[in-house]
Structure 1
Amino acid sequence: MAVPKKKTSKSKRDMRRAHDSLTPPGVSTCPQCNEPKQPHRVCPNCGFYKGKEILSGED
């Protein structure tokens, strides 16, 4: 079984983990109701996508 010969320093350990952080999702505004929404998705507030009503209001 492979065992490390030397202790990994905090610097090397943290450099390896530098790319593990999470990025927040992108946010754009809906052109119909000006509410925040994720890009390329139907607006959860008004139900429009690309100027067309996808979800009806009686849900």
Structure 2
Amino acid sequence: MGCVVNGPGEAADADIGIAGGKGSGILFKKGKVVKKVKEEDFVPVLLAEINMMLDKSEEV
């Protein structure tokens, strides 16, 4: 997780990350913006995305 200023750069090499601002944030996957997320949804959305990634890795 990072702030809206540094988050995009910090997320560039991450599998998944959130850059948070006041009231909302941006979800990143592999350095690319996936979607805008409300602040109160950061944890549930991040966990859901991680679980989807894990499910896909188990299929291989």
Please classify the TM superposition score into its range, dividing by the shorter chain length.
Answer: under 0.3
Q: Which structure has the highest strand share of the two?
A: 2
User: What TM-score, normalized by structure 2, do the two folds share?
Assistant: 0.24
Higher relative contact order (CA 8 A, sep 6+): 2
Q: Which structure has the highest helix share of the two?
A: 2
Based on CA coordinates, which of the two structures has the bigger radius of gyration? 1
User: What TM-score, normalized by structure 1, do the two folds share?
Assistant: 0.24
